[in-house]
Structures are given as C-alpha cells and as structure tokens.
Amino acid sequence: MLPSKNPMTDGALTIGIVGGTGKMGRAIFHESLNREDMSTSLILARRADLLEADRSFTAADQEARSPIQFLTTVDKPSCRVMIDFSHPSMMERYVPALLRSPTPLVIGTSGVRDHPGFAGIEQLSRYAPVLAATNVSLGMSILFHMVKEISKLMPISYHAEVLDIHQRTKREAPGDTAKKLAQTLAECRGKAHQAEFPIVMNGESRGEGDLSIGVQALRLGYGVGEHTVYFAGPGERLELTHRVFDRSILAKTVLSAAEWIVDQAPGLYDMNDFYGII
Ligand SMILES: NC(=O)C1=CN([C@@H]2O[C@H](COP(=O)(O)OP(=O)(O)OC[C@H]3O[C@@H](n4cnc5c(N)ncnc54)[C@H](OP(=O)(O)O)[C@@H]3O)[C@@H](O)[C@H]2O)C=CC1
Ligand SMILES: O=C(O)C1=N[C@H](C(=O)O)C[C@H](O)C1
C-alpha cells in the first residue's frame, strides 16, 4: 500500500534511504533536499537514535516538507521507492516489508548478490521493479561496453588485469565493480579465443603464457573510486581508467535512477537498462 497523501508532499516522489549514517546514504539524503520533486520519508539505520541526534538530519527534518521516520526496521514502507547503499546485512531489516507491500527498489550495496538475503530481492523483482546497480556511473557502464569490444580484438597473448583503488575505509577489497570487470574480461576473452581465462586475486606470480586475469585492490586515502583495466603485450600497454571525483554525482544519479525505476514493470534491472546501453 502506498503512503497516504500529504498536502506538503503531494506530487513529490517519496524516497526511503537504507544506510543513512553512511557516506552514500548521507550524500543521497543531501541531494534529495535539492530536489523540489522529491521528499525523503524514511531513513533506515542500525542506530536510528544516532540519526535523530545528528543535527544535519534533524535540521533538515525540521525544514522538510513532511516529517522523516528514523527507523531500525521497516514494518510498512512509507515511501514510493527504497534506496539501499549500506551493507548486505541491512536487507533483512526492510526486504520483508517490501515483499508485503511491493515497492520499487534501487540497491547499490556491494556484495548483495553473494548474500542469502538476495533471494528476497529476486522474489521482490517478481512484483516490483528492482535496479541492482554494481556501479551507478555512466562512465563505468561505458567502460564495461568498451571492455567487451576490446576483448574481441585483443590477442590471446596479451595479459589483462584489473586495479581497484578506493578510500581506506571501504570494507570490500576488491569491490564488486572490480570483480565484475574481471568476470566480463574472462567471459568475453574466453568466447573470443575459445579458451579458459581464470580469475586470480592479489597478483600471485604467474608465467608468461598464463591466461589468468588478476584483480588487485589498493585501499588508501579519502577519494571515491577508481578502476583501471590493463591489457599488456610486447612493448605496449593499453590502460583504461575510470575515476569518480565527487560522491554527490553518484547521489544525483541514484535519485534519477530512483525516478526511472518507479515507472518500470516488475523485474530485475541494471544500469545498462537505465542508460540504454546494450
Ligand atoms: N553502486 C555504486 O555505484 C556504489 C556502491 N557503493 C556501495 O554502497 C555501500 C555503502 O557505501 P558507503 O556509504 O561508502 O559506506 P559507509 O561505510 O560510509 O556506510 C556503510 C553503511 O552501512 C551501514 N551498515 C549496516 N550494517 C553494517 C555492517 N555490519 N558493517 C558495516 N556497515 C554497516 C553503516 O551503518 P553504521 O553507521 O551503523 O555502521 C552505514 O550506514 C558499500 O557497499 C559500497 O561499496 C558505494 C558507492 C557507489
Ligand atoms: O565503496 C565505494 O565507494 C564504491 N563501491 C562500489 C564498488 O566497489 O563496486 C562502486 C564504486 O566504485 C564506489
């Protein structure tokens, strides 16, 4: 059931944010304040009391067009679309409610596909549209497209590697994007050359003819995210790098994606569907 009408939020898309205390959760919330056509109606966190005590949230709540619910578990989704950038363990705190009242979802949290809770997300996608986005950047969707095309042209003898650089505090190492880049390389190179390209982590020593694709992660500093795909052969190396400089760009894209997903039919979507990239 959708939330009841409120004259202050009529016409505005109400969003719920999972992981309100996190870097992305905060960025999404603050971007939503710049959108006349959106309103945050609920924020889910492990410690909802911390959010209520946080002046940046309470001040915004007072100015908001309608009150924000600060929750540790969702019983009934008081939002038109839910947005999750948090930790896979958070799924159990809101997915049952979304299944009871089918609600569109944008989920960008790393590691969710390897978590048992993802079965609930797949179930939800039978009744509501779900966007599961490993990486929301346009440049990254284009990089995946380029990697597929280059894999068709690159000789089998050229080595391919992936480097993932993120802020020191990022939990996953390597992250989902790096793993997916390596999987895409393995599949596309495998198809082009009718051969097996195993994926290895942490750059163990390998022979020249070894076809494996290495994935390395550096966790340092305070930036956002950077991924490089390397192809190296005799006397040359091709490097394709994607860098994100500003988390607010990611947050703006997430809000556009939330706006898009509510108009889709039930199903499981990815960022290529949003950007229209084949
Ligand atoms: N798809 C994409 O394009 C992007 C995806 N991401 C992904 O989104 C997620 C959040 O990123 P970011 O905001 O930078 O991360 P932060 O570490 O800043 O925030 C993590 C959030 O998850 C919550 N959380 C709940 N349970 C746990 C737990 N067991 N361990 C750790 N955190 C927990 C934290 O709550 P508490 O405050 O209580 O610890 C916090 O709200 C990550 O998985 C990241 O990889 C990030 C950027 C872009
Ligand atoms: O934690 C982050 O910041 C990011 N995580 C995602 C990942 O590792 O795939 C996407 C992006 O790189 C930002």
pLDDT for position 8: 47
Same domain membership, residue 265 and residue 164: no
Q: Would you say residue 105 lies in a domain?
A: yes
Complex ipTM more than 0.85, yes or no: yes
Q: Residue 6 C-alpha to ligand 1 middle, in angstroms?
A: 31
Residues having CB closer than 6 A to ligand 1 are: 19, 21-25, 45-47, 85-87, 89-90, 108-110, 133-136, 172, 175, 250
Task: Say whether 135 sits in a helix, a strand or coil.
Answer: coil
pLDDT for position 64: 64
Predicted TM-score (pTM) of this structure: 0.94
Q: Residue 225 C-alpha to ligand 2 middle, in angstroms?
A: 6
Question: Which segments of 102-224 are extended strands (E)?
Answer: 105-107, 129-132, 159-166, 199-201, 213-219
Q: Would you say residue 89 lies in a domain?
A: yes
For residue 85, the ligand closest to its alpha carbon is 1
Q: Residue 18 C-alpha to ligand 2 middle, in angstroms?
A: 16
| 129 token code pair | 């549209």
Same domain membership, residue 146 and residue 35: no
Q: Would you say residue 3 lies in a domain?
A: no
Q: Would you say residue 148 lies in a domain?
A: yes
CA atoms 81, 32, 115, 180: torsion sign: positive
Distance of CA 270 to the CA centre of its chain: 10
Q: Is 166 a catalytic residue?
A: yes
For residue 144, the ligand closest to its alpha carbon is 2
The burial class, CB within 10 Å (0-12 / 13-18 / 19+), for 39 is buried
pLDDT for position 9: 53
- Compute the distance between CA of residue 39 and CA of residue 181 in angstroms, rounded to an integer: 35
Catalytic site residue from 159, 166, 227, 242: 166
Residue 237, beta-bridge partner list: 232
Q: Would you say residue 4 lies in a domain?
A: no
The burial class, CB within 10 Å (0-12 / 13-18 / 19+), for 219 is middle
Q: Is 115 a catalytic residue?
A: no
Same domain membership, residue 142 and residue 64: no
- Compute the distance between CA of residue 206 and CA of residue 58 in angstroms, rounded to an integer: 55
Same domain membership, residue 230 and residue 124: no
Same domain membership, residue 201 and residue 73: no
Same domain membership, residue 219 and residue 265: no
Catalytic site residue from 23, 115, 170, 193: 170
pLDDT for position 7: 43
Q: Would you say residue 7 lies in a domain?
A: no
- Compute the distance between CA of residue 42 and CA of residue 256 in angstroms, rounded to an integer: 18
Q: Given the CA of residue 86, which atom of ligand 1 is nearest to it?
A: 22
Question: Which uninterrupted H or E stretch holds 103?
Answer: none
Residue-range definition of the domain harbouring residue 208: 138-244
Same domain membership, residue 186 and residue 63: no
Ligand 1 atom 17 nearest Cα: 22
Ligand 1 atom 14 nearest Cα: 23
Q: For the chain (length 278 residues), average pLDDT per consecutive 10?
A: 46 93 93 92 88 70 73 95 98 98 97 96 98 97 97 97 97 95 98 96 83 96 95 97 96 98 98 92
pLDDT for position 63: 64
Q: Residue 161 C-alpha to ligand 1 middle, in angstroms?
A: 26
Same domain membership, residue 71 and residue 180: no
Residue 163, beta-bridge partner list: 216, 228
Structure-token match 């994607």, residue found: 242
CATH code at position 36: 3.40.50.720
Phi/psi of residue 50, each to 5°? -70, -35
Q: Residue 135 C-alpha to ligand 2 middle, in angstroms?
A: 6
- Compute the distance between CA of residue 221 and CA of residue 119 in angstroms, rounded to an integer: 35
CATH code at position 169: 3.30.360.10
Q: Would you say residue 117 lies in a domain?
A: yes
Ligand 1 atom 2 nearest Cα: 135
pLDDT for position 61: 62
Same domain membership, residue 201 and residue 153: yes
Same domain membership, residue 81 and residue 109: yes
Task: Provide the number of structural domains found in the chain.
Answer: 2
- Compute the distance between CA of residue 156 and CA of residue 190 in angstroms, rounded to an integer: 9
Q: Would you say residue 5 lies in a domain?
A: no
Same domain membership, residue 154 and residue 79: no
Same domain membership, residue 102 and residue 20: yes
- Compute the distance between CA of residue 80 and CA of residue 40 in angstroms, rounded to an integer: 10
pLDDT for position 198: 95
